[in-house]
Amino acid sequence: MSYQNILVETENYITTLTINRPKKLNALNRETLSEIHDAFVELESDEETKVIILTGSGEKAFVAGADISEFADYSVEEGKDLAARGHKEVFDVIANFKKPVIAAVNGFALGGGLELAMAAHFRIASENAKLGLPETSLGVIPGYGGTQRLPQLVGKGRAMEMIMTAGMIDANQALQYNLVNHVTPLEDLMELAEKLAGKIMKNSTVAIAQAIEAINANYEDGVNGFEKEIEGFGKSFGTEDFKEGTSAFLQKRKAEFPGE
Ligand code: COA
């Protein structure tokens, strides 16, 4: 599929999805969100994709937020619909994606941009990254999961402060807050993301998908994460990957997981 606002490139089983509106600091307009949705639907069954790296085009921004020009005159109903569709079609799709999604934050990650990074399974950042949820400075609240995922990652007090002040934190503070896992110079960011993807790809894709589901269950209302873990653990015993992983260990060789 060809896209106007994103680039999707796959090499060595790693797919890099780059939000590509650098003149607008990669702000998420409707079309971009729809393309991200379509790309993830396609990547789900793409056998050439084992890990996805999400990043932004250029050296200035990951994503500077939802496109403010598009919703400036929305009504209450339209606002609610915008958030609901965003959750369903993009942010929840990424958070619950069965293949690992790493956000490589290469500059401003603001509003919907930080929410996009937080929907990914984990984040790394370049030294020039600036992260924040500035929505209250525009008279709205974060609407793509920010009020839920930010406190899950950084704790309630820090999330309250970030959202209330609408301020930005730099990469090192984001590291200290556990919002990102690693910080690197900008020129090394993609190399680090690929290195992490490479480490992940050595392991069982089936087990990783189960682990994502079990970890996410911890944050879902009405779902018992421990039960989910027990269920997933049991299921693992029926997979070819489990047979291969355990035999390889016992035979003192490297596992070659079939991904089944
Ligand atoms: N929505 C729409 N357009 C955006 C945008 C957004 N969230 N963020 C940046 N842009 C556009 C700017 O309007 C500008 O477009 P123009 O050249 O046609 O005027 C272009 O991107 C470059 O941004 P600019 O503001 O000139 O860059 P800067 O270096 O001076 O400032 C930021 C960078 C990130 C501090 C600033 O762009 C900003 O505050 N953006 C909005 C962040 C925000 O509130 N996001 C949450 C939205 S809910």
> E strands, 111-246, where?
122-126, 130-132, 168-170, 182-184
The H-or-E segment that residue 17 falls in is: strand 14-19
pLDDT value for 2: 86
Give me the catalytic one of 11, 42, 135, 227: 135
Q: Residue 13: which of 54, 40, 51 has the closest Cα?
A: 51
- Closest atom of ligand 1 to 68 CA is 1
Q: Please, how many CA atoms are within 13 Å of residue 97, restricted to the half-sphere of its CB?
A: 30
Q: How many CA atoms lie within 13 A of 94 on its CB side?
A: 28
Within 8 A by CB and 6+ apart from 176, the residues are none
Query: What global pTM score does this model have?
Result: 0.97
Query: Which residues' Cβ are closer than 6 Å to ligand 1?
Result: 24-25, 27, 64-69, 108, 110-112, 134-135, 138
In the numeric block, the tokens 């556990």 are attached to: 178
C-alpha closest to that of 61 among 24, 112, 103, 101: 24
Q: Which atom, in ligand 1's list, is nearest to the CA of 69? A: 2
How far is residue 85's CA from residue 93's CA, in Å, rounded to a whole number?
A: 11
- Rounded Cα distance between 122 and 202, Å, is 18
Q: How far is the CA of 13 from the centre of ligand 1 (A)?
A: 34
**Is 229 a known active-site residue?**
no
Q: What is the pLDDT of residue 122?
A: 98
The pLDDT profile of the chain, 260 residues, written as one tens digit per residue, is 789 999 999 999 999 999 999 999 999 999 999 999 999 999 999 999 999 999 999 999 999 999 999 999 999 999 999 999 999 999 999 999 999 999 999 999 999 999 999 999 999 999 999 999 999 999 999 999 999 999 999 999 999 999 999 999 999 999 999 999 999 999 999 999 999 999 999 999 999 999 999 999 999 889 999 999 999 999 999 999 999 999 999 999 999 999 99
> Structure tokens of 241?
């990957």
- Give the C-alpha separation, 146 to 150, whole Å: 5
55's enclosing H/E stretch is strand 51-56
Tell me how far apart the alpha carbons of residues 110 and 37 are, in angstroms, rounded to a whole number: 20
Residue 135 annotated as catalytic: yes
Query: What is the pLDDT, as a whole number, of residue 221?
Result: 86
